[in-house]
């Protein structure tokens, strides 16, 4: 891997925060074990493009595959990494490896070993811990490795009367920390949102009748990479016409036709943070009357949802606001018949808006963090980031909707940071008004 340009103190600060949070929870002598992602083979000796496991990167900044990190807060050797061996031939083909020395020197590990030593060393490093945080049942190979280690520990603790070490979720404990963005992290997320915005603006400028969805996807990739983004935060959705009614449309291979809308949902990564913007606009540069009426209502609804984001509000409340707004629109347009309250009670809207109002956003597009606390919807709080993305999707083969609306899909998505007094829309510069979309 390349020598990182990242601000390496960020990773140390995160480890300090994690140590403090475990100590506030009165958890003593715990250890956290995190496996890096494996390099997956696409064919023969060609791997799929690699992205590090988010939690592994979050705490270490280390981007080599096939590594393991052990964090033992409060111990003399607190940070320990297991890495791939240096290998002159492999490094000639695939690039530099840090080895154990690099892990200590550049990534501030207190100790580092080669992977081959993992099961023996890990057993002695974890033996006296009170509990282990590990992401159990996410990866059978890692589960099997940990099983071997727990068995070794059992043997090491022979006749001590101790049972198997309790395992807690690393995903949850780290996720709760990732949910609250530090000021440095907010700056990284902002940058990801800025690059994403530039990508969408480039797409709006280039889009025209007769162009293929894929070519437009290429415009987005070109723009974000020009701006230094290494990759998208998720596979971009470039969905023209009724393709927009497939929520996670992935094919991106059809021609954009006169009179259609195109829904573009795409995000750029910046230092492992990602933006997640959706815009829907007319391929030929002009909304039809029907498109304008429905888009205009959805835009007002989206703006009112963004305005409602502040500390104390829950996703549940925002979802209710969204489903009411969409149901009212569906009744007005003759797609649903009946009383709005009754239709909401019967959840009649789910066919036309099958997803929620949004999700947490950060290093993963659908980011970490608990949405419920003690069985109740969690109130939003300053430092959280989320998307607001109401949508309406009328399947092309719907038999009850007026014919003119069939195949219509609209989503408008912005990225919102919750602040002490309300929120900041991090993607406010991405055009979404009817006037801007008809001009750009």
Element (H, E) at 409: strand 409-411
CB of 412 to ligand GLY, least distance (A): 11
CB of 243 to ligand GLY, least distance (A): 15
Hey, how many other C-beta atoms are within 10 angstroms of the C-beta on 298? Answer: 20
Measured N-to-C along each axis, helices 9-24 and 170-179 cross at an angle, to the nearest 10 degrees, of 110
Pick the piece of the chain touching Mn ion (CB under 5 A) from 263-271, 287-295, 332-340, 378-386: 263-271
Catalytic residue among 14, 393, 398, 414: 393
- Return the one option of ligand GLY, Mn ion, none that residue 260 interacts with (CB less than 5 to 8 A, by type): none
Which of 185, 265, 398, 414 touches Mn ion (CB under 5 A)? 265
- Return the one option of ligand GLY, Mn ion, none that residue 367 interacts with (CB less than 5 to 8 A, by type): none
CB of 360 to ligand GLY, least distance (A): 11
d(CA 363, CA 382): 17
The per-residue DSSP string of 225-283 comes to: HHTT--SBSS--EEEEGGGGGSTT-----SB--TT-EEEEEE-BEETTEE--EEEEEET
Contact 203, 244 (CB under 8 A): no
Compare residues 71 and 393 and give the one whose CB is closer to ligand GLY.
Answer: 393
Position closest to ligand GLY via CB: 265
Compare residues 107 and 393 and give the one whose CB is closer to Mn ion.
Answer: 393
Q: Is 367 in the site for ligand GLY (CB under 6 A)?
A: no
- Return the one option of ligand GLY, Mn ion, none that residue 142 interacts with (CB less than 5 to 8 A, by type): none
d(CA 440, CA 434): 10
Contact 170, 73 (CB under 8 A): no
CB of 363 to Mn ion, least distance (A): 14
d(CA 243, CA 263): 9
Question: How would you classify residue 293: left for phi > 0, otherwise alpha for psi between -120 and 50, otherwise beta?
Answer: alpha
CB of 357 to ligand GLY, least distance (A): 11
158 is known as an active-site residue: no
Structural tokens at position 8: 């390496």
The per-residue DSSP string of 289-313 comes to: HHHHHHHHHHHHHHHHHHHH--TT-
Which of 63, 232, 269, 276 touches ligand GLY (CB under 6 A)? 276
Measured in whole angstroms, the distance separating CA 46 from the mean position of its chain's CA atoms is 26
420 is known as an active-site residue: no
Pick the piece of the chain touching Mn ion (CB under 5 A) from 96-104, 274-282, 283-291, 415-423: 274-282
293 is known as an active-site residue: no
- Return the one option of ligand GLY, Mn ion, none that residue 234 interacts with (CB less than 5 to 8 A, by type): ligand GLY
**DSSP for residue 131:** E
Catalytic residue among 185, 260, 276, 398: 276
Pick the piece of the chain touching Mn ion (CB under 5 A) from 19-27, 100-108, 265-273, 285-293: 265-273
Pick the piece of the chain touching Mn ion (CB under 5 A) from 145-153, 268-276, 320-328, 394-402: 268-276
Catalytic residue among 248, 253, 341, 439: 248
| Phi/psi of residue 418, nearest 5 degrees | -80, 130
Residue owning tokens 């997956």:
40
Compare residues 61 and 409 and give the one whose CB is closer to Mn ion.
Answer: 409
Beta strands in 2-66 (DSSP E): 30-35, 41-43, 46-47
45 is known as an active-site residue: yes
Torsion angle of C-alpha atoms 198, 268, 319, 307, degrees rounded to 10: -40
Pick the piece of the chain touching Mn ion (CB under 5 A) from 13-21, 126-134, 271-279, 337-345: 271-279
3-state SS class at 15: helix
Contacts to Mn ion from residues 383-412, by CB under 5 A? 387
Q: What is the pattern of x (binds ligand GLY, CB under 6 A) and - over residues 409-428?
A: ----x---------------
d(CA 273, CA 271): 6
Structural tokens at position 325: 């707004």
CB of 128 to ligand GLY, least distance (A): 43
Catalytic residue among 17, 231, 366, 439: 366
CB of 411 to ligand GLY, least distance (A): 8
Q: Is 265 in the site for ligand GLY (CB under 6 A)?
A: yes
State the sign of the Cα–Cα–Cα–Cα dihedral 290, 293, 295, 301.
negative
Q: Could you list the residues that contact Mn ion (CB under 5 A)?
A: 265, 276, 278, 387, 413
Q: Could you list the residues that contact ligand GLY (CB under 6 A)?
A: 234, 265, 276, 359, 365, 389, 413
Q: Which residues are catalytic?
A: 45, 248, 265, 276, 355, 359, 366, 389, 393, 411, 413
């Amino acid at each position: 891997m390349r020598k990182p340009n990242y601000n390496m103190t960020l990773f140390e600060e995160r480890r300090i925060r994690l140590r403090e949070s475990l100590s506030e929870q009165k958890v003593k002598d715990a250890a956290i074990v995190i496996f890096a992602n494996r390099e997956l083979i696409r064919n023969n000796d060609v791997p799929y493009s690699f992205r590090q496991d988010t939690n592994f990167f979050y705490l270490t900044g280390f981007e080599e595959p096939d590594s393991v990190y052990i964090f033992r807060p409060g111990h003399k050797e607190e940070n320990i990494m297991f890495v791939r061996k240096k290998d002159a031939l492999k490094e000639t083909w695939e690039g530099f490896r840090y080895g154990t020395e690099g892990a200590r020197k550049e990534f501030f590990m207190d100790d580092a070993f080669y992977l081959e030593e993992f099961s023996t060393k890990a057993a002695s490093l974890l033996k006296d811990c009170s509990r282990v945080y590990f992401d159990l049942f996410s990866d059978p190979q890692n589960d099997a490795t940990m099983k071997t280690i727990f068995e070794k520990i059992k043997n090491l603790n022979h006749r001590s009367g101790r049972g198997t070490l309790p395992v807690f979720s690393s995903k949850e404990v780290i996720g709760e920390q990732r949910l609250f963005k530090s000021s440095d992290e907010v700056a990284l997320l902002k940058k990801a949102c800025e690059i994403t915005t530039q990508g969408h603006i480039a797409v709006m400028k280039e889009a025209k009748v007769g162009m293929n969805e894929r070519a437009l996807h290429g415009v987005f990739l070109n723009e974000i990479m020009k701006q230094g983004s290494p990759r998208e935060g998720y596979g971009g959705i470039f969905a023209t016409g009724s393709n927009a009614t497939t929520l996670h449309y992935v094919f991106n291979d059809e021609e954009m036709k006169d009179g259609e809308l195109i829904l573009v949902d795409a995000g750029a990564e910046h230092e492992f943070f990602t933006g997640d913007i959706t815009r829907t606009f007319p391929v030929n540069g002009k909304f039809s009357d029907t498109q304008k009426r429905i888009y205009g209502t959805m835009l007002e609804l989206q703006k009112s949802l963004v305005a409602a984001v502040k500390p104390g509000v829950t996703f549940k409340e925002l979802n209710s606001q969204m489903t009411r707004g969409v149901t009212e629109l569906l009744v007005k347009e003759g797609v649903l018949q009946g009383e709005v309250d009754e239709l909401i009670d019967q959840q009649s809207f789910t066919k036309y808006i099958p997803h929620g109002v949004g999700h947490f956003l950060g290093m993963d597009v659908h980011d970490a963090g608990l949405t419920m606390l003690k069985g109740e919807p969690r109130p939003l709080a300053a430092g959280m980031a989320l998307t607001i993305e109401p949508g309406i999707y009328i399947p092309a083969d719907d038999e009850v909707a007026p014919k003119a609306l069939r195949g219509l899909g609209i989503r408008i998505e912005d990225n919102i940071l919750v602040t002490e007094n309300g929120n900041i829309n991090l993607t406010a510069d991405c055009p979404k008004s009817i006037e801007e979309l008809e001009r750009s």
